[in-house]
A = this chain, B = another copy of it.
Amino acid sequence: MPSLDTARIDIERFWSTIERSAEIGPGRPGGLSRLALSDADKDIRDTFVGWCREAGLTVRVDGIGNIFARRAGTDDSLPPVVMGSHLDTQINGGRFDGIAGVLGGLEVCRTLDALGHRTRRPIEIVNWTNEEGARFSPPMVGSGCFVGAYTLDFAQGRTDEEGRTIGQELERIGYRGEMEAAPHAFDAYIEFHIEQGYYLDRDGMQVGVVTGGFPSTGMLVEFKGETAHTGPWPMERRRNALLAGARLLVETDEIGWAYAAGGGKATAARLAAWPNKPGILSDWAQAVCDVRHPDPETSEVMAERVRRAVGESAARAGCTAEILDIWKWGGSIFAQELIDSVRQTSLALGYRTQDILSQAGHDAYFVARHAPTTMIFAPCKGGITHNNAELCTKGDLEPGLNVLLHTVMARADR
Interface, chain A (partner B; CB < 8 A) = 90-92, 132-134, 137, 139, 195-198, 214, 216, 218, 226-236, 240, 242-243, 245-247, 249-250, 253, 256-257, 260, 264-273, 275-281, 283, 288, 290, 292, 317, 358-361, 383-387
Contact = CB atoms under 8 A, between A and B. Distances in A.
Contacts of A290: 230, 278
Nearest to A387: B227
20 contacts: A90-B277, A90-B280, A132-B279, A196-B229, A218-B278, A227-B386, A228-B384, A228-B387, A230-B269, A236-B260, A242-B270, A243-B253, A250-B250, A269-B277, A269-B278, A270-B277, A271-B276, A272-B276, A279-B386, A281-B386
Contact of A90 (B236, B275, B386): B275
B384 A292 contact: no
A260 B235 contact: yes
Contact of A133 (B267, B276, B279): B279
A34 to B, nearest CB: 14
Contacts of A276: 270-272
A214 to B, nearest CB: 7
A57 to B, nearest CB: 30
Contacts of A233: 197, 265, 383
Nearest to A268: B243
B267 A232 contact: no
Contact of A288 (B133, B214, B216, B278): B278
Nearest to A245: B246
A208 B245 CA distance: 36
Given A275-B134, A278-B269, A386-B281, A360 B253 contact: no
A250 B257 CA distance: 18
Contact of A249 (B90, B195, B242, B383): B242
Contact of A268 (B91, B198, B246): B246
B268 A133 contact: no
Given A196-B229, A197-B231, 9 more contacts: A134-B279, A134-B280, A196-B232, A218-B278, A228-B384, A232-B265, A267-B281, A270-B277, A280-B386
Nearest to A257: B235
Contacts of A218: 278
Contacts of A247: 246, 250
A278 B270 contact: yes
A159 B243 CA distance: 26
- Which 9 residue pairs are nearest across A and B when measured between Cβ atoms? A197-B232, A231-B360, A232-B359, A246-B246, A230-B267, A246-B249, A235-B260, A231-B359, A229-B386
Nearest to A273: B271
Nearest to A383: B232
Contacts of A249: 242-243, 246
A316 B214 CA distance: 25
A269 to B, nearest CB: 5
B235 A134 contact: no
A271 to B, nearest CB: 6
Contacts of A277: 90-91, 133-134, 269-270
Nearest to A33: B275
A139 B279 contact: yes
A37 to B, nearest CB: 16
A230, A235, A260: which has the most chain B beta carbons within 10 Å? A230
Contacts of A137: 278
Contact of A269 (B92, B266, B279, B359): B279
A279 B268 CA distance: 10
Contacts of A134: 275, 277, 279-280
A269 B16 CA distance: 49
Contact of A361 (B92, B227, B231, B264): B231
A360 B232 contact: yes
